[in-house]
Chains A and B, each alone.
Chain A
Amino acid sequence: MIRGILLSIGITLISLSLLSITSPISNTIIVTKPYCISIPSTAKVIAIMYENSTNVTVYVKIIHGNFTKIIRPPCTIMLTHGKWIFEVYNETYPKISYRSINETIIEKNVTIIIQKTVNYTNIVTTKNATYPIYVRLYIKCMKILKFQELSEILGIIMIISSVFLYLRKRF
């Protein structure tokens, strides 16, 4: 029984250490508040940042450990092991506002004052995320085990032990 168990666990450990999930997974996250993600060392992840609104200029602050970077989407970065924080740093967009103006018209010696509403555009720069940014996480691959070498060594030791036990019983 012990021989069989050692052999089967050994084969399983070697198989697990050689395998990885390669089916790509893509998730889109809408970032309005700071978004935090912890990337394990076993995963290969790409983050694609973009802004859907055409006339908005947005800057994204990316924090990873002691490293902080402010970039303008669209951009693509490779996420390495550790904690990553994405947040809107600054956004600039044109805002249409309305105001009332009094227009004076003199017609046949009569002065008429007309109140008109006119629109005008002003450029707003804010740190609030009025327009969200989109972060598409593209997980390319994920290894099954973190300690692959350890698992391989354990697997080989178990297989050798099972063979040794088998031979000892046989001879």
Chain B
Amino acid sequence: MMRSRNYQIFSVIFKERFREHTLEFIIPLMLSSNVFINAFYERGNFTIYGIILAFIPLISVSETIAFALALRNIIFVTGDHIYRGSIISFLTFPIKRTDLFLMMYFSDVITPYIIWLSTTEAYILMSGIPVPQFLILIYTIGYFFTENIILSIALTFKSAGIATLLSSFIIGLLFIFGGMLNYYELIQGYHVLGITSSLNPYVLLLYEAVNRKTLPCIYEGITIELIIATVTFFFSLNKFKRLEI
């Protein structure tokens, strides 16, 4: 059976990112690394506090793998193609640049996310741990927020080295200093907590779990993250459409 042209192009792009044995290694690793949810849940006396700790990026192995996989795809596959000029062979495909960008975006960013989501949801279902779906939503928005920033940097600077350093610096700065800012905001009064919560909402979630309070400003932070993620996505799309080799 003859496959459609778009499917064949997508297949080439996908197989380049996920060569033989990558998915065979990544999927079970993501699934089994979720045992830390059980460990933290047990350690936290079966409270929501333990679950939130288990879902903090860098503590959660599964989330870190998904993030690292997308980062590697963006910088060291797509970014490397742009840096070396080999992207030209993809640009000569009989396909619109927007479609090509969406295919690359799907392979680079959305596929690791789908793997993470499916393995985590399957694990939550089978383990019977009452994980609030709000945590999944927060990671989802945070994931697209960071990956779209990395994609914008990679397409702007067109160098794997600069993109790696700059994205690590920016994301690390946002997450660590954002967490510190949230902490001081919580101590000294909620002046700009709605804005700072977009940088690291996990501090606020932990505060909510410990003090049994609700902070509606988390929603403001999520909205800001979503807006930035959308803006950086369209910025990257525009950059890719105007790409000159």
Partners in one complex: yes
Binding site for B on A (CB under 8 A): 1, 4-5, 7-9, 11-13, 15-16, 19, 21, 25, 27, 29, 37-43, 137, 139, 142, 144-147, 150-151
Compute how far the CA of A145 lies from the CA of B127 in the bound complex, rounded to whole angstroms.
Answer: 4
**24 A-B residue pairs with CB within 8 Å:** A1-B23, A4-B20, A4-B24, A5-B27, A8-B27, A9-B31, A11-B28, A12-B28, A12-B31, A12-B32, A16-B35, A16-B126, A21-B42, A37-B46, A42-B128, A43-B42, A139-B42, A142-B38, A142-B42, A144-B38, A145-B128, A146-B127, A146-B128, A150-B126
B134 within 8 A of A: no
On whether the beta carbons of B27 and A15 are closer than 8 Å, the reply is no
Q: When the two chains form their complex, are residues A8 and B128 in contact, meaning their CB atoms are under 8 A apart?
A: no
B21 touches A4 (CB 8 A): yes
On chain B, the residues within 8 Å of A12 by CB distance are 28, 31-32
Q: Are A151 and B126 in contact (CB under 8 A)?
A: yes
Q: Is the CB of A43 within 8 A of B127?
A: no
CA distance A37 to B31 in the complex (A): 28
- CB pair B28 A41 closer than 8 Å: no
Give the Cβ gap from A85 to chain B, nearest Cβ, in Å: 14
Do A40 and B28 touch (CB < 8 A)?
A: no
Specify the main secondary structure of chain A where it touches its partner.
mixed
Chain B 24-62 residues near chain A, CB threshold 8 A: 24-25, 27-28, 31-32, 35, 38-39, 41-43, 45-47
Where the two chains meet, the residues of B that have a C-beta atom closer than 8 Å to any C-beta of A are: 20-21, 23-25, 27-28, 31-32, 35, 38-39, 41-43, 45-47, 126-129
Query: B31 contacts A1, CB within 8 Å?
Result: no
Contacts of B45 in A (CB 8 A): 27, 29, 37, 137
B35: chain A residues at CB < 8 Å are 16, 19, 21, 144
B128 & A41 in contact (Cβ 8 Å cutoff): yes
| A5:B23 contact, CB within 8 angstroms | yes
In the complex, chain A residues whose CB is within 8 Å of the CB of B25: 8
**Least Cβ distance of B41 to chain A in Å?**
8
Q: Which residues of A contact B126 (CB under 8 A)?
A: 16, 145-147, 150-151
Residues in chain B near residue A1, CB distance under 8 A: 20, 23-24
Complex contact B24–A5 (CB within 8 A) = yes
